[in-house]
C-alpha cells in the first residue's frame, strides 16, 4: 500500500505531461544556445523520472535503467501523438532528445546520490 501511495506524485506528473503534450502549444521565449522549450522538455522528464525512482526504497541500476527507458519511451510516444493526432503540434526529434536527456540526467543523479 505504501508503495502505491508513493507512486501518486509520479502518476499526477505523468498526467500533467500528457495534458501539456496534447493541449495547444505554449509559446516559450527563445535563448540563443539552448531553447527554453528544450529545457522545459528536459526538466519535465527529469522530474517524471525522479518521481518514479522515489517509489522504490532501494532502486538498483536495473530499476534506474527501466525508469529512464520508460520516461524516454513515453516522451517519444508523446511526440508521435502530437505529430499524428493534433493539428498545429509537431513531431520533433530534438524534443525527444531533450526528454531523454532529462530522464538520463535524473537517473544519473539519483544513482550517484543513492550509491
Residues 52-104 pLDDT 10s: 999 987 778 999 999 999 999 999 999 999 989 888 888 889 999 999 999 99
* C-alpha cell of residue 33: 544556445
For range 12-36, the mean pLDDT: 73
Task: Return the pLDDT at 6.
Answer: 81
Helix (H) or strand (E) holding 57: none
Query: pLDDT digits over 2-17, tens only?
Result: 767 888 888 899 899 9
pLDDT tops 70 at residue 31: no
Q: Between residues 109 and 115, which one has the greater pLDDT?
A: 109
Cβ 52 vs Cβ 9: under 8 Å: no
Contacts 24+ apart (CB under 8 A), 66-74: 67/103, 67/107, 68/103, 68/104, 68/106, 68/107, 71/45, 71/99, 71/100, 71/102, 71/103, 71/106, 72/45, 72/96, 72/99, 72/100, 72/103, 72/104, 74/14, 74/17, 74/45, 74/48, 74/99
30 pLDDT band, cuts 50/70/90, is low
| pLDDT score at 65 | 96
Read off the pTM. 0.81
Q: What are the residue ranges spanned by the domains of the chain? A: 36-115
Q: What is the pLDDT of residue 23?
A: 76
Amino acid at each position: 500500500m505504501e508503495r502505491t501511495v508513493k507512486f501518486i506524485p509520479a502518476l499526477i506528473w505523468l498526467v500533467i505531461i500528457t495534458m501539456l503534450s496534447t493541449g495547444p502549444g505554449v509559446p516559450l521565449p527563445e535563448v540563443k544556445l539552448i531553447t527554453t522549450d528544450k529545457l522545459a522538455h528536459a526538466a519535465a522528464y527529469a522530474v517524471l523520472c525522479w518521481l518514479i525512482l522515489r517509489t522504490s526504497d532501494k532502486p538498483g541500476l536495473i530499476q534506474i535503467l527501466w525508469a529512464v527507458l520508460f520516461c524516454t519511451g513515453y516522451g517519444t510516444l508523446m511526440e508521435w501523438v502530437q505529430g499524428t493526432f493534433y493539428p498545429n503540434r509537431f513531431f520533433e526529434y530534438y524534443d525527444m532528445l531533450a526528454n531523454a536527456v532529462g530522464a538520463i540526467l535524473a537517473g544519473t543523479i539519483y544513482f550517484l546520490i543513492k550509491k
